[in-house]
Amino acid sequence: MRQVIIVGSGPAGYTAAIYVARASLAPLVVASSVEAGGELMNTTDVENFPGFPDGIMGPDLMQRMQAQAEKFGAEILLDDVMELDLAGDIKRVTLGSGETHEALAVIVATGSAYRKLGIENEDRLSGHGVSWCATCDGFFFRQKTIAVVGGGDSAMEEATFLTRFADKVYVIHRKDSLRASKIMQDRAMNDPKIEFVWNAGVTALHGDTALTGVTLTDTVDGSVRELDLDGLFIAIGNDPRTHLVHNKLDLTPEGTIAVKGRSSLTSLPGVFAAGDVIDPSYRQAITAAGSGTVAALDVEHYLASLPAELLAQAVPA
Ligand code: NDP
């Protein structure tokens, strides 16, 4: 049995791992089989993480965090958690491989998942013109006409990045003003390849084997028009990834895991949560990293409060 298992490998999970490992608690990090490193693996330049005045590529930042955690003794497993048994003193984490690992404490840092439009053909055309990741798929749209849906920082970042490949990038937004920060808005608005389509919702996706176009419905007057497209990138935000803890941990009305005050303490003793999965508002790499630190320190206090007999069962004791 371990002292600590960390579920998730974004900035929250890896920062928690760095702290817990430096406290000689040798955590196991279940990093996911395909999404190890979390959302920053799908990002290009990260310009606002302190300490990198020239910016750093998202995947590069995550590799550094992983290396830092491993250097202090964290073990990283590229597998997915299928089941969490969190109720007793000894927590059980069952993986996709079928293995079950035990620990005295668990940190849930599962982040958030891309939001979908929720319209017909979205899943069928995913990977065939419909994408949630410009850095992954942008390369396939050289000299094409594409669109990004959304009005936040992600949509601006994706649109700006996609101008490297596409000839034309529409930004389709359901309102007439953007939620994105001013610097990201300005960058997109000043780009000659980007054209904004205001007050429009994507209401249908067309194409047999690949996307050929979309139907746009005006959100003000309800009028409908068609737009021919080779690709559509959906950047309309994220939802906290809580499926593993439904009916096990208390959630907030926003759907994030509920924690006590500014701590990482969830509704169950020995279970801690950190990062985007507890944060409906800020959702930055640096706030997730700070949240991972809080969870690691809370775990240390929790372990120190446990009876010696229980602690003696875990490695390292
Ligand atoms: P946001 O929640 O900030 O924005 C989502 C956007 O999508 C909004 O404009 C919203 O519209 C729109 N939207 C939501 N649901 C739908 C829907 N069903 N149909 C159509 N449009 C929809 O998400 P982001 O992913 O952009 O950003 C999340 C967080 O990450 C933010 O805090 C952001 O600052 C941060 N971030 C920072 C970056 C950076 O600094 N480099 C890069 C990327 C993200 P509406 O405005 O009408 O609500």
**pLDDT tens for the 317 residues of the chain, in order:** 999 999 999 999 999 999 999 999 999 999 999 889 998 887 778 888 999 999 999 999 999 999 999 999 999 999 999 999 999 999 999 999 999 999 999 999 999 988 999 999 999 999 899 999 898 789 999 999 999 999 999 999 999 999 999 999 999 999 999 999 999 999 999 999 999 999 999 999 999 999 999 999 999 999 999 999 999 999 999 899 999 999 999 999 999 999 999 999 999 999 999 999 999 888 889 999 999 999 999 999 999 999 999 999 998 76
Ligand 1 center–CA 115 separation, angstroms: 10
Whether 138 contacts 42, CB under 8 Å: no
Nearest to 83 by CA among 142, 7, 26: 7
250 part of the active site: no
What residues contact 19, with CB distance under 8 A and at least 6 apart?
A: 292, 293, 296, 297
Q: Please report the pLDDT score of residue 42 as a whole number.
A: 75
Whether 206 contacts 130, CB under 8 Å: no
Report the atom number in ligand 1 closest to the C-alpha of 181: 34
Phi, psi values for residue 257, rounded to 5°: -70, 130
Ligand 1 center–CA 281 separation, angstroms: 11
Phi, psi values for residue 123, rounded to 5°: -75, -40
Query: What is the distance between the alpha carbons of residues 8 and 274, in angstroms, rounded to a whole number?
Result: 10
Query: What is the distance between the alpha carbons of residues 175 and 180, in angstroms, rounded to a whole number?
Result: 12
Ligand 1 center–CA 308 separation, angstroms: 47
Query: What is the distance between the alpha carbons of residues 10 and 23, in angstroms, rounded to a whole number?
Result: 20
Q: Is 237 in the pocket of ligand 1 (CB under 6 A)?
A: yes
Q: Please report the pLDDT score of residue 317 as a whole number.
A: 62
Report the atom number in ligand 1 closest to the C-alpha of 117: 18
For residue 258, the 8-state DSSP code is P
Report the atom number in ligand 1 closest to the C-alpha of 236: 7
pTM: 0.80
Calculate the CA 142 to chain-centre distance. Answer: 27
Q: Please report the pLDDT score of residue 54 as a whole number.
A: 95
Query: What is the distance between the alpha carbons of residues 317 and 311, in angstroms, rounded to a whole number?
Result: 6
Ligand 1 center–CA 178 separation, angstroms: 9
Q: Is 154 in the pocket of ligand 1 (CB under 6 A)?
A: yes
Q: Please report the pLDDT score of residue 64 as a whole number.
A: 98
